[in-house]
Amino acid sequence: MPSAATRIITCRDLTKVYRMGTQEVFALRGVNLDFTEGEMTAIMGPSGSGKSTLMNMIGALDVPTSGELTIKGRPLSNLSRDELADLRNQTIGFVFQQFNLLHRATALANVKLPLLYSRTPIDDATARARECLEMVGLGDRMDHRPMQLSGGQQQRVAIARALAGRPSILLADEPTGALDTKTSEGIMDLLTGLSQDGITVILVTHEAEVAAYTQRQIHFRDGQVERDERSGA
């Protein structure tokens, strides 16, 4: 596992202002944070506190009004649109609460899809998709469509898809929000294992039980970091 001291994400004085008519709404107010390789972090806080805005910035889906976000030493403000797309494809994996799977496609096809978009040769994409499904314990479900899978299995397919591009960073938005308690525990064990393998896992959650799996909990309120705590796990 890589050294926990290896910094992979740096946020400096991040501010995000949305304009609604003549009114300015501050989603982030001067956020300063670092994330290191292999660290598993929960971002928590009430609705509108800024946590999703921060996640979108780390995922290169949104840009700050001011401040700088750096991933692997590269300031995102210096990257072109194509370079940002490459960053999302090669460095960042996304996992969503609602899975976002293609219902008519098999698990294998769902996992393979982002690789084909990135122009990976089809044989290589198929082999990698199979490898990722094996990794999440679905080697015997590759030919099943989402409606033939349980909620937990669908989320595992979504995680396999996120891993297909060999990301250094995995962003998960309420990854257990649609799952029952036992299934949620299985998903969190899987995410914990990925973190132990060196992937930086950052998840948004409202659930203290989910946050308890993480090494670090960052609490947001009114666009600012209210508390930044490490469990010592």
Query: Which pLDDT score, from 0 to 100, does residue 98 have?
Result: 86
Instruction: Return averaged pLDDT per consecutive 10 residues of the chain, 233 residues in all.
Output: 70 94 93 96 94 94 95 94 90 90 96 89 95 95 96 95 95 91 94 95 94 96 95 60
Tokens found for residue 222: 């009114």
Dihedral-angle region of residue 156 (phi above 0 means left; psi in -120 to 50 means alpha; beta otherwise): alpha
User: 27 with 55, same domain?
Assistant: yes
Query: Which pLDDT score, from 0 to 100, does residue 3 have?
Result: 44
Query: Which pLDDT score, from 0 to 100, does residue 2 have?
Result: 40
Residue 146 structural domain: 101-166
Domain assignment present for residue 96? The answer is no
Q: How many domains does the chain have?
A: 2
Q: Which residues are CB-neighbours of 150 under 8 A, at least 6 positions away?
A: 183
Query: Which pLDDT score, from 0 to 100, does residue 105 have?
Result: 96
pLDDT per residue as tens digits for the range 134-165: 999 999 999 999 999 999 999 999 999 999 99
Q: Which of 150, 166, 182 finishes a domain?
A: 166
Query: How far apart are alpha carbons 203 and 191 in whole angstroms?
Result: 10
User: 195 with 210, same domain?
Assistant: yes
User: 127 with 230, same domain?
Assistant: no
Query: Which pLDDT score, from 0 to 100, does residue 220 have?
Result: 96
User: 2 with 21, same domain?
Assistant: yes
Query: How far apart are alpha carbons 226 and 131 in whole angstroms?
Result: 40
User: 41 with 131, same domain?
Assistant: no
